[in-house]
């Protein structure tokens, strides 16, 4: 199988997927805007060839350049796991007549309003919603959604420019704060827990599925710099917490006609136990969630995805053995990291359950968590019993401080 892979060196997890493709026997042709010498070793080592383009911005030029470069080589797939280049990937597929997501399908996965309409048409629960290019349209939309409402970019990411509004004054303020955003989504605010539903699919079959639980909500994290994020991959999908999301997620995939690859859906679970659709990407979750899923199953989903994409199967054992709780730490104070306060005691108590632990080393500068998603550290603790996993995860949130000064 010959695969064209867009941007093999960036974002950070792409080299792992390239490595996965190589591992399952694919021949991988990388196309990127980085100089070949700047590619991470893992990506470079797995590529059969690499085409550097000046920019991904001019899609037509990229298609022409790739066509010239590939001449005589047969391509079976065009893969792109980076949200930003998904339209380009669809264009390349159309140009070379290879299967995978088309332009229309990509639009449903990229545009929050289109995706909600498609999910809603299938009779599934989505927040009341509208789109707005002008202030007038925004006020008309909020008249339909009611308060509390959410204002966010129609094609946002990372909870950027996302505001909860409890009344008209807050809504006006949110419109001022988002005046630079070309198009907004206005939604009913759904109160509840926030979870994910992630899959690897092939030919419309779900080969792997997983639910993880954000604590706290991503929006709260984006607005409070002292909070450590936890994301817990749940072992038992039949339990009360994840089950409604699994049912919703499967139906969403069907409604959107998703065929092959990774998906990452976010959903809300109300106090009454109802699952409400949030958003979905036709790509893997970021923020190390694929790693956390791997730790929950002792599997390698980078290679698992590759096998599914190339050969339509997933032959690894992906049985979940653990609840895998991932924690991101943000250093307190400014400047250089001086201390990992509380770490020794935590390792003494829970060391055998720590699957991975990476903190900004003492003596290095504190990272900017707005730029580096893991901030000043990430760790995974895991346990077959959810309560135990949660207790350990809380302990690493509460009792571990990365101290800068």
Contact set with Mg ion (CB under 5 A): 266
Interatomic CA distance for residues 390 and 397, integer angstroms: 10
CB of 183 to ligand ADP, least distance (A): 14
CB of 385 to ligand ADP, least distance (A): 27
Residue nearest to Mg ion (CB): 266
Interatomic CA distance for residues 16 and 29, integer angstroms: 15
- The verdict on 156 binding ligand ADP (CB under 6 A) reads yes
Choices 23-31, 184-192, 250-258, 362-370 (CB under 6 A): range interacting with ligand ADP:
184-192
Instruction: State the first-to-last Cα distance of the chain, in angstroms, to the nearest integer.
Output: 52
Q: Which does residue 194 touch among ligand ADP, Mg ion, none (CB within 5 to 8 A, set by kind)?
A: ligand ADP
Q: Which does residue 335 touch among ligand ADP, Mg ion, none (CB within 5 to 8 A, set by kind)?
A: none
The CA-CA-CA angle for residues 278, 300, 283, to 5°, reads 30
Q: Which does residue 217 touch among ligand ADP, Mg ion, none (CB within 5 to 8 A, set by kind)?
A: ligand ADP
C-beta of residue 313 within 8 angstroms of C-beta of residue 379: no
CB of 129 to ligand ADP, least distance (A): 8
* Sequence-distant (≥ 6) Cβ neighbours of residue 109 within 8 angstroms: 86, 101, 115, 256, 280, 281, 282, 283
Choices 212-220, 233-241, 343-351, 365-373 (CB under 6 A): range interacting with ligand ADP:
212-220
Nearer to ligand ADP by C-beta: 217 or 321?
217
Residues contacting ligand ADP: total by CB under 6 A = 19
Beta-carbon neighbour count of residue 179 at 10 Å?
Answer: 8
Q: Which does residue 366 touch among ligand ADP, Mg ion, none (CB within 5 to 8 A, set by kind)?
A: none
Nearer to Mg ion by C-beta: 266 or 307?
266
- The verdict on 266 binding ligand ADP (CB under 6 A) reads yes
Q: Which two tokens stand for residue 77?
A: 């797939």
Query: Would you say the C-alpha torsion 382, 383, 386, 392 has a positive or negative sign?
Result: negative
Choices 74-82, 154-162, 200-208, 343-351 (CB under 6 A): range interacting with ligand ADP:
154-162
Rounded to 10 deg, the angle between the 289-297 and 301-311 helix axes is 100
């Amino acid at each position: 199988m010959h695969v064209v892979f867009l941007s093999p060196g960036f974002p950070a997890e792409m080299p792992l997927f390239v490595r996965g493709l190589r591992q399952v026997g694919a021949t991988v042709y990388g196309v990127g805007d980085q100089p070949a010498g700047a590619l991470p070793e893992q990506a470079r080592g797995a590529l059969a060839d690499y085409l550097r383009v000046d920019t991904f911005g001019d899609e037509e030029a990229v298609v022409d350049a790739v066509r010239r470069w590939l001449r005589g080589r047969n391509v079976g797939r065009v893969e792109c796991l980076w949200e930003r280049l998904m339209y380009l990937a669809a264009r390349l597929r159309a140009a070379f007549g290879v299967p995978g997501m088309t332009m229309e399908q990509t639009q449903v996965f990229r545009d929050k309003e289109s995706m909600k309409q498609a999910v809603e048409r299938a009779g599934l629960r989505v927040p009341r919603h509208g789109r707005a290019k002008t202030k007038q349209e925004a006020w008309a939309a909020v008249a339909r959604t009611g308060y509390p409402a959410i204002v966010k970019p129609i094609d946002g990411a990372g909870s950027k420019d996302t505001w909860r509004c409890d009344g008209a004054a807050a809504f006006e303020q949110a419109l001022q704060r988002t005046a630079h955003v070309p198009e907004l989504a206005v939604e009913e605010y759904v109160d509840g827990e926030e979870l994910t539903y992630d899959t690897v699919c092939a030919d419309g079959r779900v080969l792997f599925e997983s639910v993880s639980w954000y604590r706290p909500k991503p929006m709260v994290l984006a607005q409070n710099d002292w909070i450590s994020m936890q994301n817990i991959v749940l072992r038992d999908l039949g339990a009360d917490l994840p089950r409604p999301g699994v049912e919703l997620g499967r139906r969403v995939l069907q409604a959107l006609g998703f065929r092959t690859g990774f998906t990452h859906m976010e959903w809300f679970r109300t106090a009454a136990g109802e699952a409400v659709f949030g958003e979905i990407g036709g790509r893997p979750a970021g923020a190390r969630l694929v790693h956390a899923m791997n730790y929950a199953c002792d599997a390698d989903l980078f290679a698992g995805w590759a096998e599914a994409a190339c050969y339509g199967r997933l032959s690894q054992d992906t049985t979940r053995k653990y609840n895998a709780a991932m924690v991101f730490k943000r250093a307190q104070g400014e400047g250089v990291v001086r201390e990992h306060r509380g770490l020794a005691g935590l390792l003494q108590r829970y060391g055998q359950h720590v699957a991975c632990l990476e903190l900004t080393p003492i003596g290095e500068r504190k990272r900017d968590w707005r730029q580096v998603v893991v901030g000043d550290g990430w760790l995974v603790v895991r346990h077959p019993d959810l309560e135990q996993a949660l207790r350990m995860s809380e302990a690493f949130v509460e009792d571990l401080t990365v101290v800068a000064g």
